[in-house]
Amino acid sequence: MAKMTTDKLLGAFEEMTVLELSEFLKAFEEKFEVTAAAERTRVELREYMLPIIDERRTGDGEDSDAGDVPFALRQAASAIENIEQLSHDLDIARLRLVADRLIASRKVFLAGSLSSAGFVQYLGYLASLAFENWRVVDNGTASLPMVVTDLSQDDAVVVILKDPYAARSVNAARFAAEAGAFVVVISNQVSCPAFQYATQRFIVPSDSPQFFSSYAATLVLIECLAGMLIRRSGPDAQARLAEVESNGHRLGEYWPVT
């Protein structure tokens, strides 16, 4: 039997409907056990990482180069451990309460400096797709003095910071609390100085085998919060999300897929 060339296969796919492609993909996975193979790879990786995670938990080899274990795998093991710890400790009911309060707020401001700046920007981007009233402090039109001046008890401020703590972020939490705003602080230590100003606080594990703190668990919390906000906000936010995506395609913001 003659083999089909790649071009002929792609040509055949182009003539198939979305439903036909979906059915083909499912049949392909079942025939060649693609999903099973991926699951086996995940399990094998997990089994390989467990001894590294256990070593970190017991403290064995903490000051050594961990023998033959590459640094990248030790970093990955640390990230997995942080995420598992977050999953174990996270109070879902409290996260829902926070999400509902943020949805009900007149305005929501996000504050974060130094290493946390990028994560505040990311949360701000996710939220701005569905909501018009979210702003990142010090990003264009929302400077900290302007935010503090306009804050009220109907507003909310989310602050993300890690040790060593950015003074600007601590002050943002303090000024927001003084204005009566709803203040959410996300940090990695109980001793975080911004916690004293928080209405709600979340402690996120950040252990790492290197000098820098890990943000893996923080990223998971941010994405959980963003997803929860959109799901609990009702049809208006979801409609805006769809409209923003549609306009992105219409205005050529996304690279065309051919």
Q: Are 83 and 220 in contact (CB under 8 A)?
A: yes
Burial 186-220 (b: 16+ CB within 10 A, else e): bbbeeebbbbebbbbbbbbbbbbbeeebbbbbbbb
Residue recorded with tokens 């003539």: 15
pLDDT per residue, tens digit, the chain (258 aa), is 566 777 777 677 667 665 666 667 667 767 766 565 555 555 555 565 556 555 555 554 444 445 566 777 778 888 888 888 888 888 889 999 999 999 999 999 999 988 899 999 999 988 888 888 898 987 656 677 777 778 889 999 999 999 889 999 999 999 999 999 999 999 998 999 999 999 999 999 888 777 777 888 899 999 999 988 988 888 888 888 888 888 888 888 888 777
Helix spans in the chain (H):
6-14, 18-32, 34-58, 71-89, 92-104, 117-130, 144-150, 167-178, 216-232, 235-250
**pLDDT for position 250:** 84
Distance CA 119, CA 122 (A): 5
Question: Three-state DSSP class for 182?
Answer: strand
**pLDDT for position 214:** 83
Domains of the chain: 92-247 (3.40.50.10490)
**pLDDT for position 64:** 45
Residue recorded with tokens 């923080």: 218
The candidate with the shortest Cα–Cα distance to 92, out of 250, 202, 194, 14, is: 202
**pLDDT for position 76:** 82
**pLDDT for position 68:** 63
**pLDDT for position 17:** 65
What is the spatial order of strands in the sheet that 200-203 belongs to?
A: 134-136, 108-111, 156-160, 182-187, 200-203
| DSSP symbols for 89-127 | H--HHHHHHHHHHHHH-S-EEEE--GGGHHHHHHHHHHH
**pLDDT for position 151:** 86
**pLDDT for position 128:** 87
